[in-house]
Chain A
Amino acid sequence: MNISVQTRNLTRRFGRFTAVDRVTLDVYEGEIFGFLGANGAGKTTLIRMLTGLLKPTEGEAQVAGFDVWGQSEAIKRRIGYMSQRFSLYEDLTAEENLTFYGGIYGLRRDQIEQRKAILFEHVGLQPFAGQMTRDLPLGFKQRLALACALLHDPPIVFLDEPTSGVDPKARRSFWNLIYQTAQLGKTLFVTTHFMDEAEYCHRVGIMHMGRMIAVGPPGQLKRQYDKSTMQEVFIALHQSSEEAA
């Protein structure tokens, strides 16, 4: 299998605080990689480094085969990003938001129209195309944000806590959407702090205090730690690393 995201001892420090501590990780093409950790564990910092928003302090990382140190331009064209904070223009319609993101990725007019049609279909937003974004229910805003991240057809998509703040039903249907997106052959890198969502991932990585303390398929991790849910695995791992510290 081809590797989509690869890091070697990737580290980021803010002054004396180490937010991400020597993380080494491989994410494969077409995978839904779940990225777990409590708030402040370093998930967002790691994603920000991989998307080129933040320079690493040291270590190496390749995204879509390009180096984060010198080839961030090439990386940016090949990734989609949906940030933790809902970040679409509330005073633009759903369609205008998509058109804008098409424009800043340098797509042609006809490409934008074509992709818009496909994505509205994909995320089920057709009836709301002309509505102001601020009037959409939160679940639909999130679908729109995903559509914006997918507009330029990137092979790798980073979703930073995409389901925070929505009800369980909307979360469930958003995960269906994530599955459908993976079936298009895309690599999805999803951070979450909902342990039930971890069960949906092909593989998960668990982060604690800036370090990656476990990586593997949910089933394997549950067997390894002799637990029945990811929730329990997470708590067990948390305690053991707390004791080690």
Chain B
Amino acid sequence: MNASLKRVVAIARKEFLHIIHDPRSLVVIFVLPIFQLTMFGYALNMEIKNVDLAVLDYSRSPISWQLVQTFEGSPFFHVQYFDGQPDELERLFLQRKARAALIIHPDFGRDFHRQPATPVQLIIDAVDPNAATLIRNYSLQVIAEFNRRFGGEIRLPFDVEKAIWFNPDLKSAYFFVPGLLALILIMLCTLLTSVTITREKEMGTMEQILVSPVKPREIIIGKVIPYIVISMTIGVLILSIGIVLFGVPFRGSYVLLALFSSIYIITALSMGLMISTIARTQQVAMMMAQIATLLPTIILSGFIFPLSSMPRPLQWVSNIIPAKYYLKIVRGIMLKGNTFSQLIEPAGVLLVMTLLLFLIARRRFSMHLEG
């Protein structure tokens, strides 16, 4: 073993000792992702069920009864008849007794058999716009179903057959498990790296290390190894929970995901290094790591909000968020079974970004230490 390797091993070993001697930190490191995962898993549910639907059936005809029955048959709606006047509906919405209302006018039964198109009115509570969109889509599905069954001879010249690929049931677990993997890896790695280095500066131990023959790159490598191991373990943990508990498929190659994940982890570690050259205390480092990773990853990576619906300037900003590319990679591998050649573009961008960031961080770190 040469001297340089010995020094790296000594630093990595010490870093492991810090973690082992402080079981609380270990608990936080491992419990936090599990907590977040289950929280997102059960709270961030994009599927809505049992929407309270108030029905005002003025027609009271057999065919309007069929329409209501079709709504009732759907798991999305919980039908409640309402006998009042349309202007009293508002009270129902205000009291949150209904989130949608279906109004069938008196001539519905007669018109249905005579006219090519018979209108019904649907009112949706859009206080939560996402939910409103979902309710609207579910209603259209139910009405389409009704038309197929009772529409009689009148048919559209063509029929659109929908096929949703890769996540046919539109399960939210399919998209938050990869997203959470991207979020937790970058948050934790950036945080741990920046804090571990800042702590040595704060305690004065960095100075003690610097009078030894240790080189900055040996400090970096030695300090980062334990956190790569931890991050990889957490990655495996998140994936296992996602696959076992939430039934997310894994269609691609594990090796490929491990390879790209290590690039992504190095991005996070470089960010941590960069922060450690700016922050003087652990507290500041923690805050900076949070600011740099949490919100950008949640909002600008396409994790929750689709990038294509954002204003142009935000879309430009999203191009420098590493999680954006990593997310494409993870979703591609897990849900689509993408191969290496299909991922060259996002992987290439991520790699270039990582290299750049790492070189700058390393340079800054060395200069910072040599003060």
Q: Do A and B come from one complex?
A: yes
Interface positions of A (Cβ within 8 A of B): 51-55, 73, 76-77, 79, 81, 83, 85-92, 96, 99-108, 132, 148
Complex contact A79–B211 (CB within 8 A) = yes
Name the distance in Å between A106's Cβ and chain B's nearest Cβ. Answer: 3
In angstroms, Cα B20 to Cα A92, docked, is 10
What's the least CB distance linking A124 to chain B, in Å? Answer: 22
Contacting pair B211 A102 (CB below 8 A): no
Residue among B6, B7, B11 with the highest chain A CB neighbour number at 10 A: B6
Asked if B211 and A100 sit within 8 Å, CB to CB, the answer is no
Residues of B within 8 A of A (CB): 3-4, 6-7, 9-11, 13-14, 17-18, 21-22, 203-205, 207-214, 370-371
B210 x A104 contact (CB < 8 A): no
Inter-subunit contact B11/A104 (CB<8 Å): yes
Contact B18 A92, beta carbon cutoff 8 Å: yes
Q: Are A103 and B10 in contact (CB under 8 A)?
A: yes
- Kindly state the separation between the CA atoms of A62 and B10 in the bound complex, as whole angstroms: 29
Cβ of B22: which chain A residues have Cβ within 8 Å of it? 91
- How long is the Cα–Cα vector from A156 to B211 in the complex, in angstroms? 13
> Do residues B212 and A104 form an inter-chain contact, with CB atoms below 8 A?
yes
7 A-B pairs with least C-beta separation: A103-B10, A106-B3, A85-B204, A87-B204, A81-B211, A87-B208, A100-B14
Interface centre among B205, B212, B370 (most CB of A within 10 A): B212
Establish whether residues B212 and A86, one from each chain, have CB atoms under 8 Å apart when the complex forms.
Answer: no
Give the residues in chain B near A101, CB-CB below 8 Å. Answer: 208, 212
Apart from A76-B213, A90-B203, A148-B208, 12 more pairs, CB < 8 Å: A52-B211, A88-B205, A89-B14, A89-B18, A91-B17, A91-B21, A91-B22, A92-B14, A101-B208, A103-B6, A106-B3, A108-B6
Q: Give A92's nearest chain B residue, CB to CB.
A: B17
In the assembled complex, the CB of B202 is this many whole angstroms from the nearest CB of chain A, namely 10
Find out whether the CB atom of B17 lies under 8 angstroms from the CB atom of A81.
Answer: no
B207 touches A87 (CB 8 A): yes
On whether the beta carbons of A54 and B371 are closer than 8 Å, the reply is yes
For residue B9, which residues in chain A have a CB less than 8 angstroms away from its CB?
103
Q: Once the chains bind, are A100 and B10 in contact (CB under 8 Å)?
A: yes
How close is A144's CB to chain B, nearest CB, in angstroms?
A: 12
Contacts of B14 in A (CB 8 A): 89, 92, 96, 100, 103
Residues of chain A with a CB closer than 8 A to B17's CB? 91-92, 96
Contact B211 A105 (CB under 8 A): no
Q: Report whether B211 and A76 are in contact in the complex, using a CB–CB cutoff of 8 Å.
A: yes
Offer 15 A-B interface pairs, CB within 8 angstroms, sorted by A.
A53-B210, A76-B212, A76-B213, A83-B207, A87-B203, A87-B204, A88-B208, A89-B14, A91-B21, A96-B17, A100-B13, A105-B7, A106-B3, A107-B6, A108-B6
